Amino acid sequence: MKVLVFDISSDYAHFRKPYTTTSALTYSIPPRTAVVGLLGNIIGVQSGGFGKSEQSSYFENRGLKTGVRITSPIGKTTFNLKYLHTKSGGSILVPVECVVSPKYRIYATGSSELLSALRGKLENHETYFTPCLGISEFIASIDYIGEFEAEEMNGEVLIDSIVYLFDEGEIRFESGLNLFRETHAIIMDHERKVQQYSEVVYEANCNKISLLKSPVRASLVKLRSSNTEEVIMLV
């Protein structure tokens, strides 16, 4: 298995929690659905327009699996964004929670066709659409790390990436770690209805997480480059 790796960063990020109303709260890390959208922006897969999602079927049909690693400690702030009323011409200030100075490492594997398309854009520092972290105001910078062979793993390991628990995953809670959980959408259909969720665990200060049991729906792999080794969970 080959895995493409790149870093993405911005001044701010906002991955809206769908159940919030009066204020817009954010996930700390991009849900898999947001990563799929980011990859679509890189290679030029259209979203399908409001209320539609062509990206999901495109990537699922090409065997996409992704992983996310936090490479900068998680911090948040809230400020007001001005939204315009297109009908009345007025505006409203909405409090929006944002991740401050976010930096994530993204991992992607799939069919040879998909990896070739992604590699071609990343190696040439190109994207089809402008990449952003959650909303269009937060334009992102991408730094291509490379393509690496992945060795499948199992058993108890220390993981560098975030951990997807699904129903059967287990981790060890250790003192000194800032572990947090979020519930993320994993797969959406073409009408943007969520087909699968998972609880996700991350360590806010970029420390490794001790995995006791890996869920069946995830792949656990080790990546080796010339000077580093990473253990990553892909879904």
Q: How far apart are CA 127 and CA 124, in angstroms?
A: 9
pTM above 0.85, yes or no: yes
Q: How far apart are CA 62 and CA 146, in angstroms?
A: 20
Mean pLDDT, all residues of the chain? 92
- Model confidence at 75: pLDDT above 90: yes
Q: Which residue has the tokens 């919030």?
A: 20
What pLDDT is attached to residue 35? 97
The arithmetic mean of pLDDT across residues 93-118, rounded, is 96
- Model confidence at 121: pLDDT above 60: yes
The arithmetic mean of pLDDT across residues 197-225, rounded, is 95
The arithmetic mean of pLDDT across residues 72-100, rounded, is 87
- Model confidence at 166: pLDDT above 90: yes
Q: How far apart are CA 8 and CA 35, in angstroms?
A: 11
**35: three-class secondary structure by DSSP:** helix
- Model confidence at 32: pLDDT above 60: yes
Note whether 40 and 64 are within 8 A (CB): no
What's the chain's length in residues?
A: 235
**121: three-class secondary structure by DSSP:** helix
The arithmetic mean of pLDDT across residues 132-151, rounded, is 96
- Model confidence at 115: pLDDT above 70: yes
What pLDDT is attached to residue 53? 65
| 3-state DSSP helix/strand/coil % of the chain, to nearest 5 | 15, 45, 40
- Model confidence at 234: pLDDT above 70: yes
Q: How far apart are CA 182 and CA 68, in angstroms?
A: 14
Q: Which domains does the chain have, with CATH numbers?
A: 2-234 (3.30.70.2660)
What pLDDT is attached to residue 18? 85
